[in-house]
Amino acid sequence: MKLTLYSDYSLRVLLYLASTPDSQKLVQIKDIATAYGISKNHLMKVTFHLGKLGYVETIRGRNGGLSLALEPSEINIGKLVRETEEDFTIVECFSEDNQCIISPSCSLKGILNQALQAFLNVLDQYTLHDLVKNKNQLRSLLVSIQTEITKEDNTES
């Protein structure tokens, strides 16, 4: 099972917010984009959706930014993945317009469905809190990346 970039970016945004030292502090999308080397425009779409889903609070305007709307322990990874993945069609026989001629006698669909459910069941066992147990190390990595990029930008100017 491979997650889409959309789910990956959703997880990264939440990890960034959860690793922010002061949970009340608003984080700028541009800082998250810089830290991960991701397009700011992509992250704007992701954060908008995360806001609609109730995972983040978004405040618009000059002094705006993002913060977690829930405690990290309240954000279930399995639920998040189900809400951010558009399609769990692993093979053609999962789709409504299945054209595979051996589908009626093939047991692959059932086996892959079990595998998908096992994958999601494992994710259901974890929360964002579990992912940021090494919060200080995670934060220092993100800050060091931002510092390097800022130095590079300043030397290019």
Identify the domain containing residue 48 by its residue range: 5-150
Is residue 119 one of the residues assigned to a domain?
Answer: yes
Is residue 116 one of the residues assigned to a domain?
Answer: yes
pLDDT tens profile 80-139 = 999 999 887 777 777 778 787 877 888 887 888 899 999 999 999 999 999 998 877 777
Is residue 106 one of the residues assigned to a domain?
Answer: yes
Residues 53 and 102: beta-carbon distance below 8 Å: no
Is residue 157 one of the residues assigned to a domain?
Answer: no
Is residue 117 one of the residues assigned to a domain?
Answer: yes
Domain count, the chain: 1
76, β-bridge pairs: 127
Is residue 155 one of the residues assigned to a domain?
Answer: no
Which residues are CB-neighbours of 52 under 8 A, at least 6 positions away?
A: none
**H helices then E strands: how many in the chain?**
7, 2
Is residue 156 one of the residues assigned to a domain?
Answer: no
CATH at residue 24 = 1.10.10.10
Residues 4 and 86: beta-carbon distance below 8 Å: yes
pLDDT tens profile 17-72 = 998 876 558 999 999 999 899 999 999 999 999 999 999 999 988 888 999 999 99
For helices 135-156 and 5-19, give the axis angle rounded to 10 degrees: 100
